[in-house]
Amino acid sequence: MNRLRSWLFDAFFYGGSVGFVLAAPVAAWFSRRALLGVVMGWLKWHRLCARGIMGMRSRVEGAPLAEPGFYAAKHQAFYETFELALILRAPAIVMKAELAEIPLWGWAARQYGVIVVDRSGSATALRQMLREAKAARAAGRSVLIFPEGTRVLPGEAPPVRAGFAALYKTLALPTVPVALDSARVWPRKGPKRPGTVTFRFGETLDPALSREEAEARIHAGINALEPAARIG
């Protein structure tokens, strides 16, 4: 049954996504507000498919900030990219440069206002990332990063990437770790399955902490739902 549900989810979600992707450039031509409407519609379409077909739900522990902030989240599945974008009210998401190069979709993502990180680590790429982050802050938007740099399996806790510290110091915003357990319902291999994903918003970090302390507290915060014995 779960395999059939997964197939139906893929068919409905990705089939329906074509319309949103095609509409995005047209909306962007009119205004950013129109583009944001398309993006929010796409996010809600994902939630509708996840709930209606797969039986997936989200449970939020704690709460996002009332004002713009810098959020650092665990990354286990595709699911949280969409859910956190809804929960955080369309934040500027830090994403790898390869995604921004996808024809049409990448252009629309840049118009929406993502922050592109080039993992080559060049000084030019870093400056560009920080400029985009400052633009998001100036626009009154929150910023979302997956500081471990990639999706990981349950129990894995790789170190925080250097890009987090650069953004933490540049943005100087209240910073919140977000732990989650989406791999329970959306494993990397095998069919998706029904269940509830927990999003736990941790203690807010002051933006004036040292790099070492900020990284340590973020690492602990985003791994708060991981089995302690497996993350050391």
pLDDT 10s digits, 21-59: 899 989 988 998 999 999 999 999 999 999 999 999 999
This prediction's pTM: 0.93
How high does pLDDT run on average in the chain?
A: 92
Give the domains, in start order, of the chain with CATH numbers: 57-231 (3.40.1130.10)
| Section 167-193 average pLDDT | 96
Closest listed residue to residue 222, CA positions, set 118, 82, 84, 97: 84
Query: Token pair of 227, please?
Result: 């089995």
Query: Token pair of 181, please?
Result: 């357990």
3 has a pLDDT exceeding 50? yes
Say which residue, 69 or 96, is predicted with more confidence: 69
Give the whole-angstrom CA distance, residue 158 versus residue 30: 42
Per-residue pLDDT of 218-228, as tens digits, reads: 999 999 998 75
Phi, psi for 200 (deg, rounded to 5)? -105, 110
Per-residue pLDDT of 116-162, as tens digits, reads: 887 766 778 888 899 999 999 999 999 999 999 999 999 999 999 98
Give Cα 136 to chain centroid, integer Å. Answer: 15
Which pLDDT score, from 0 to 100, does residue 230 have? 47
Torsion sign, CA atoms 130, 135, 140, 146: negative
